[in-house]
Structure 1
């Protein structure tokens, strides 16, 4: 079983390649399951005045879903396509997020925290935001948002749970208790997390989450899935061999997969 559940496409504004290019690439490299999971449209900032290329326009969302399910049928004899959404958690916008999630028959929804207010902590164009903030306070706010995302019941798993470290900005105080708090919230919500391999190509040069967090997730009995977070077709499944090896070294034997919002564990298949 070879899977990649985290991918982005041209509709989101900051990726290249259409959905079918990813499907064809997935078949070429021998994926068993391919998750299509583009970003939810922006809700809390004006896309006309905010930085360009943050997410798909709202009127593209139904087209994305329609195309994804069409491709699922077209290629059903060659690859198992799962149709998902990376649904940002934005505090104060829970009602609008829930409306989007309930409007479509997703196979899975990723709960990711990118925004703290109007600041996207994952955007390389916004790293100056760290200069005016205390790093520990940012980590506290971030992990508090992850906990609140878990409590909504909207999501099937948390994406790149420690992505706050992406650009290498870290407090001078230990944050393990914040990380553990987030993982405990995942467990309490009966959710999974992903091992997102894209961190290896980021300034932090470490997957999301860290090995320490994976070890605590295993101790808690939290299921884990795999995602490359590819934004170009050629990066599909990038570093997932290394991610699979890390999971097995930590002690995981299964991966979480999702269909019509139901989770099923399958043996780890990357080698």
Structure 2
């Protein structure tokens, strides 16, 4: 565990295992760390399968590993009954693959929630990793992808909405407009936004404005205080030792800008059922 102080919340809903190919550890190892840290609700959120299979393959679970993913989470829940263990996915959403999503995993009653997140944008007919998004046009497409996630009605929250700052390094009129568009949409659609603990744990990057975290982007969250939006905090754990990593730093941002902490734990507990996410 990399935080010694008591955490200010009792959930983490953003957790990856070895099946996504860029994390380590099995579900039961994360559950053990979460239980010892006093966590009450632990959600797993691998990046789901996607077609075509040449897009971001080294960072997604393979379709043939889905049953093992669901089984591992069920095993973790059985071993740690004091935890409410949930099954989810962190996903980009591309409308032309909707039938694939539905046929492959969205219909599964094992799924309790979905996280919306933009990692790739489609720009002028090409796929672009968000870290390469460096122009005003790229930012506009990033906003469009975020809007699609919100409009779908499927997402419990939007993860790292400020990750555009990984590629577009300076703060200017374009990044402010991008931020305000996202915040305005979150207010309209009543979708919570996530302050991401993985970004807090990562080293600072160099920008024209000086060194800063790639995300969370403090300028974004300062603007968030002007909108009627709520936020959630998650560790985005890629190793069992980080299951609560960065959470206290996330809460420091909430306190600094007087943001509203969304009651996501209570919300998911109240809505927990075996209905599929498509029918909720």
Give the TM-score band, short-chain normalised. Answer: 0.7 to 0.9
Stretch deviating more after TM superposition (163-172 or 27-36): 163-172
Cα distance in 2 for partners of 1:152, 1:41 equals 18
Query: Taking structure 2 as the reference length, what is the TM-score of the superposition?
Result: 0.78
Alignment of 1:35-74 (within 5 A): 35-43=43-51, 45-47=52-54, 53-74=58-79
Cα distance in 2 for partners of 1:156, 1:147 equals 14
Counterpart of 1:178 in structure 2 is 178
Name the SS for the 2:46 alignment partner: coil
Give the number of equivalent residue pairs: 251
Q: Is the 8 A contact 2:235 2:244 kept in 1?
A: yes
5+ residue gaps, structure 1: 264-271
Counterpart of 2:244 in structure 1 is 237
5+ residue gaps, structure 2: 1-8, 206-211, 273-280
Cα shift at 1:219: 3.8
Q: Is the 8 A contact 2:230 2:260 kept in 1?
A: no
Which of 28, 31, 36 is matched with 1:23 structurally?
Answer: 31
Does 2:144 correspond to 1:140?
Answer: no
1:244–1:113 distance in 2 versus 1, CA, 3 Å: same
Cα shift at 1:209: 4.2
Cα shift at 1:17: 0.7
Query: Taking structure 1 as the reference length, what is the TM-score of the superposition?
Result: 0.80
Name the SS for the 1:220 alignment partner: coil
Cα distance in 2 for partners of 1:59, 1:256 equals 34
Counterpart of 1:248 in structure 2 is 255
Cα shift at 1:239: 1.6
Alignment of 1:116-127 (within 5 A): 116-117=121-122, 119=127, 121-122=129-130
